[in-house]
Structure 1
Amino acid sequence: MCDSGICKIKAEYILAEQKREVDLDHVSDKDKNVLKPDLNEADVCLDDDDNHPPLKKQKFSKKKLKGQNKSRGPTFRINKESELCSSLIMRGDTNETPACHKVNCPFLHDIQKYLEIKPKDIGDTCYNYQISGTCSRGLTCRFGFEHITSDGKNKINEKQRQKFETEGSHTKNQLRHDIQIALRKRNYNFELSALIKYYNTSKAKKLDFRIMKKVTLKMLKKKSENKLIGAITDEDIIKLRQREKKTIDWTDKLFLSPLTTVGNLPFRRICKEFGADVTCGEMAMCSSLLQGAPQEWALVKRHSSEDIFGVQLCANNPYLFTKCGELLQNETDIDFIDINLGCPLELVYKQGGGCGLLRRQNVLESCVRNLSNILTIPLTVKCRTGIYNNDNIAHVFAPKFRDWGASLLTIHGRSREQRYTKSADWQYIRTVAQAAAPLPVLGNGDILSYADYKLARETVPELAGVMIGRGALIKPWIYTEIKEQKLWDISSSERFDILKKYANYGLEHWGSDNKGVENTRRFLLEWLSFLYRYIPVELLECPPQKINERPPYFRGRNDLETLMASPSASDWIKISEMLLGPVPDNFHFLPKHKANSYR
């Protein structure tokens, strides 16, 4: 006879799997351990003595993974043997050919041979060369007709380069090589973060005075050219108050949400041109930043057009948060740091990051308090309503965030379980805003038009502003619509011009060689997986469009409009080929995000 308690749990799991209504997160760790041996195949034998109906031997089917395509591979692989060595790509007008000092370099070193096998140029004009007077990809540029000579030399327009350096747009927050080496060798001096030694909140509070003393002294040293002389007075070690930090006026600002994968620098530039007031980089993992990973540091890069820019961090303990906060404040030009408490991804959640921090209040308090104490720029927090559908907890944390030192709270009106399958709960967002007062609160969720924005502000008058995510992906001109209070019937040619501009920004950001072109194509296709959902205003029966309503297949007013509305990835690839040339032979694409956000 089997134990009735264990059998009862097994029975509940079998029924739940059949209905697909339960997540493993509802079950305690103890019960999970009991079930672990039987997760693949459960032999459930409930006897009559247990007062349960007998259940037959059944298989546990793995719960369907929603929200992401988990089996994606790389869209394109570079063949190093057919690519020119980086030491040769900037060969100038001199007769000297630079030498490669790498041992066993796998790249090609014969310039003439490379030019013979190099794929045909995509276009005759290089965007990077035109705006800056030089192309950083040199001989490998796929648009190199105007700056590559027939004998394999790279031209530079000195006049245009000097003009660009003084007047042009630039990308900031590049990772310096010496900083990267110091991080990898663990030689970087984290003098403030070294004080963070405890998870225990009561002990962490005792460190506030020591931390703020060091922060204040550091600020005084930066302000004064002379070294401090003499004894430290009370004025030197007075605690830095919240109001004495750098402040940002959040009132009536339109925010671009930090969007994983698609919220890259070229896309943020597009949104800035359409009127976004505040931008934030994609979610960056603190552990990767502290290891000096180039792919993670690319997420904190900032364009000069982004006048108010922040970085969103994700971690599961105060050590990582404080070290990363200190590092970014010292080495980058950013205006605020945002703590991610809303990431629903399984891998992040199970490790205690993102939404997982909402289950660990002591650790969460230590993270917010310590990071706020170390920073002299505002600290903001972005979270969901809670973890489970029927258990909203954001209103409980809202006043605590205020007391712990946060300067702003953004509330996404869905729980972790809901992901994007339900409409955002703006009534609950108002509850959170009232509980957080006087802490400024932003609302986030389901804003796709000026009408949605107006309704949100009327529903929650306490809001300081709104944050827009998927709405900006579907129609980045939404910021213009809100500021001009109109519904913009944008034509297909205007939308295609936006894609052209994105492609140019991508080539400037990722490069115009083979790798840069395919990176630009990949992120363009990821954006098109959202952009195709836009429905032209003139074709709507009841405008404006709602974000969670799936439209039927329709024919546009011209062939281009019909093509841009196609849900097929093969049609998105056709659009990319209009801008970036034919895809390579070994190219394949599967979007990261599934289009499951319709109800």
Structure 2
Amino acid sequence: MKIGKLILEGTPLFLAPMEDVTYKSFRWMCKKYGADVMYTEFVSSEALVRDVKKSKQKMVLFDFDRPVAIQIYGHNIDSMVRAAQVAEELQPDFIDINFGCPMKKIIRHGAGAAMLRDLPKMQQMAAEIVKAVKVPVTAKTRLGWDKNDKPIVEAALRLQDAGIAALAIHGRTREQLYTGVADWTLIGEVKNHPQIQIPIIGNGDITGGEKAKNLLEQTGVDALMIGRPAIGRPWIFREVKHYLQTGETLPSPTVAEVVENVKEQMQLNLEWKDNERSAILMMRRHFAKYFPGLPNFRELKIKLLRAETNTEVTGILDEIVERYGSVRPVYEE
């Protein structure tokens, strides 16, 4: 598939943009295990226009990231255009517009998935951004607002007309948030619509190789995007690729192997952040996901989530290895 001049071979795997998740160390872990395309955390256009330091830090790119996109969100077209121009200065491979975030703090301002309720404005915003920058512009969205309002086919056609170079579709509505089952049927309708020429990226419920293959066969999408299932399991990209190539399911890593990865990610955070506490706080969401299905693990998990220093974290991780080293965590399939 192609995004502008960027050519991606086979069925590329995209790491979905996620706030407070897809920062440097996690992107590194996912790239290590085979993610083909990275995204930054999504960045507020209003914050960029105001030159907020924290938001600009989210857009810092690294050599290992590429190919990589900076994702922006907002409701004001002028601010979004300016944000795209600011993002372009950092030389991403493409810029992505967030038309899919379902969280209240985003949609209450008319951004993210709220744009699905105003398709003409969505189209105008995309068109203005495309005109304002030289790098390709893509978008990510959902099926619609709720079960009675799923305008994804019209939205895709409008975005294509606006000049969007590729479209990622999460198979849920805004109302669903991240609950229920992703509906791949409408993703397939978009991909196979006779007027759709741009690449379509399928997203939602890709928890393993078999589901990835099913999504591909059902919809014919050009690429797959994995988000929350990669938290605590960055090797899912390796597992999916192996299954797509061989039809075989790789065994999950042992707890001892998982711990080595956790320590690597933790060390990257320590090197990247300006203080130890910040590095640990960034890891807590990942700590909560790294060891699913272990028996009698609650006490150790709580200790890990409450740890305040890297010495504490390392000691708890070593204790986890002593108790569970050869056990394999149980991941959702």
**TM-score of the superposed pair, with normalisation by structure 1:** 0.49
Q: Which of 467, 472, 475 in structure 1 is aligned with 2:233?
A: 475
Is the CA contact (8 Å cut-off) linking 1:254 and 1:468 kept in structure 2? yes
- 1:389 corresponds, among 147, 170, 174, to 147
SS of aligned partner of 1:383: strand
Compute the displacement of 1:530 (Å): 2.8
1:271 matched to 2:30? The reply is yes
**Residue 491 of structure 1: aligned partner:** 254
Task: Give the Å deviation of 1:301.
Answer: 1.2
Deviations, residues 247-296 of structure 1 (Å, cap 9, x unaligned)? 22245111000011111111000101011100000010011112121111
Match for 1:573: what amino acid? R
1:246 deviation in Å? 4.4
What does residue 189 of structure 2 align with? 431
AA aligned opposite 1:438: Q
Structure 1: 5+ residue runs without aligned partners?
Answer: 1-242, 536-553, 556-561, 583-597
Q: Do structure 1's residue 401 and structure 2's residue 134 form an aligned pair?
A: no
Any residues of structure 2 matched to 1:281-360 within 5 Å, and which? 281-329=40-88, 331-360=89-118
Structure 1 residues 174-193: aligned runs within 5 Å:
none
* 1:122-172 residue CA offsets vs partner (Å, 9 max, x unmatched): xxxxxxxxxxxxxxxxxxxxxxxxxxxxxxxxxxxxxxxxxxxxxxxxxxx
Per-residue CA deviations over 1:497-549 (Å, capped at 9, x if unaligned) read 001110111011103xxxx21111111111122334x34xxxxxxxxxxxxxx
Whichever residue aligns with residue 207 of structure 2, its letter is: L
One-letter code of the match for 2:257? Answer: E
Separation in structure 1 between the aligned mates of residue 50 and residue 302 of structure 2, nearest angstrom: 35
| Structure 2 match to 1:147 | none
Work out the CA distance in 2 between the residues paired with 1:456 and 1:469.
15
Contact persistence 2:48–2:55 (CA under 8 A): yes
Q: Alpha-carbon deviation of 1:317?
A: 2.0
Judging changes above 3 Å, is the alpha-carbon distance between structure 1 residues 472 and 499 closer, same or farther for their aligned structure 2 residues? same
TM-aligned CA deviation for residue 425 of structure 1: 0.4
Specify the alignment match of 2:324 in structure 1. none
How far, CA to CA, are the matches of 2:253 and 2:52 in structure 1? 40
Q: Does 1:380 align with 2:138?
A: yes
1:528 aligns with 2:287: yes
Amino acid at match of 2:175: E
- Give me the whole-angstrom Cα distance separating, in 2, the residues matched to 1:471 and 1:488: 16
In the alignment, does 2:278 pair up with 1:519? yes
Instruction: State the alpha-carbon separation in 1 of the partners of residues 105 and 228 from structure 2.
Output: 22
Query: Match for 2:252: what amino acid?
Result: D
Structure 1: distance between partners of 2:81 and 2:315:
45
Map of 1:572 onto structure 2: 305
1:187 corresponding residue in structure 2: none
Change (3 A) 1:376 1:504: same
Deviation, 1:484, is 2.1
Residues 443 and 466, structure 1, Cα contact 8 Å, conserved in 2: yes
Task: State the AA in 2 paired with 1:344.
Answer: P
Contact kept, 8 Å, 2:42 with 2:70, in 1: the verdict is yes
In the TM superposition, what is the alpha-carbon distance from 1:459 to its structure 2 partner?
A: 1.1
SS in 1 for 2:69: strand
Take 1:301 and 1:347, find their aligned partners in 2: how far apart are those partners?
Answer: 24
Deviations along 1:467-493, one digit per CA (max 9) or x if unpaired, are 000111141101111222232320111
Question: In structure 1, what is the Cα distance between the partners aligned to 2:177 and 2:226?
Answer: 16
Deviation at 1:309, TM superposition (A): 0.7
Cα distance, 1:447 vs structure 2: 0.9
Q: Determine helix, strand or coil for the equivalent of 1:340.
A: strand
Question: Distance between the aligned counterparts of 2:216 and 2:4, measured in 1?
Answer: 27
> Alpha-carbon deviation of 1:364?
1.5
**Percent identity for Structure 1 against Structure 2:** 26
Cα deviation, residue 390, structure 1: 2.6
Bigger Rg, structure 1 or 2: 1
What is the rounded CA distance, in whole Å, between the counterparts of 1:580 and 1:570 in structure 2?
Answer: 11
Picking from 169, 177, 188, the partner of 1:411 is 169
* Matched-pair contact (CA < 8 Å) for 2:97–2:140: yes
Question: Which letter does structure 2 place at the counterpart of 1:419?
Answer: L
Contact 1:285–1:313 at 8 Å: present in 2 too? yes
Structure 1 equivalent of residue 179 of structure 2: 421
Given that 1:341 and 1:381 are in contact with CA atoms closer than 8 Å, whether structure 2 keeps it comes out as yes
d(CA) in 1 for partners of 2:108, 2:241: 40
Cα 1:418–1:567, aligned 2, differ >3 Å: closer, same or farther? farther
Q: Tell me: higher relative CO, structure 1 or 2? Use CA pairs within 8 A at least 6 residues apart.
A: 2
Q: Shift in Å at residue 361 of structure 1? A: 2.5
Distance 1:528 1:362, change over 3 A: same
With over 3 angstroms needed to count, the CA separation of the structure-2 counterparts of 1:566 and 1:369, relative to structure 1, is: farther
Q: What residue in structure 2 maps to residue 505 of structure 1? A: 268
1:166-205 alignment, distance < 5 Å: none
| Amino acid paired to 2:273 | W
How far did 1:567 drift? 9.0
Aligned to 1:261: 20
> What's the secondary structure of 2:288's corresponding residue?
helix
**2:304–2:313 Cα contact (<8 Å) kept:** no
CA contact (8 A) 1:269 1:303 kept: no
The one-letter code sitting in structure 1 at the alignment partner of 2:24 is L
C-alpha offsets along residues 150-203 of structure 1, whole Å, 9 cap, x if unaligned?
xxxxxxxxxxxxxxxxxxxxxxxxxxxxxxxxxxxxxxxxxxxxxxxxxxxxxx
Evaluate the alpha carbon distance shift between residue 480 and residue 427 of structure 1 in structure 2; reply closer, same or farther with a 3 A threshold.
same
Unaligned runs of 5+ in 2: 244-248, 317-331
Equivalent AA in structure 1 for residue 258 of structure 2 = R
Q: Residues 427 and 302 of structure 1: is their aligned pair in 2 closer, same or farther, counting only changes over 3 Å?
A: same
In 2, the alpha carbon distance for the partners of 1:297 and 1:385 equals 30
In 2, distance between residues paired with 1:301 and 1:278?
16
Cα deviation for residue 391 of structure 1 reads: 1.9
1:454 aligned to 2:213?
A: yes
- For 1:359 and 1:313, how far apart are their aligned partners in 2? 19
How many angstroms does 1:566 deviate by?
A: 6.6
Q: Which amino acid aligns with 1:502?
A: Q
Equivalent residue for 1:361? 119
Contact between 1:314 and 1:339, CA under 8 Å: does it hold in 2?
yes
Q: TM-score, normalised by structure 2?
A: 0.86
After superposition, what is the alpha-carbon deviation per residue over 1:424-457, rounded to whole angstroms, capped at 9, x for unaligned? 0011211122236211000001111111111111
Once superposed, what is the RMSD of the aligned Cα atoms?
2.2
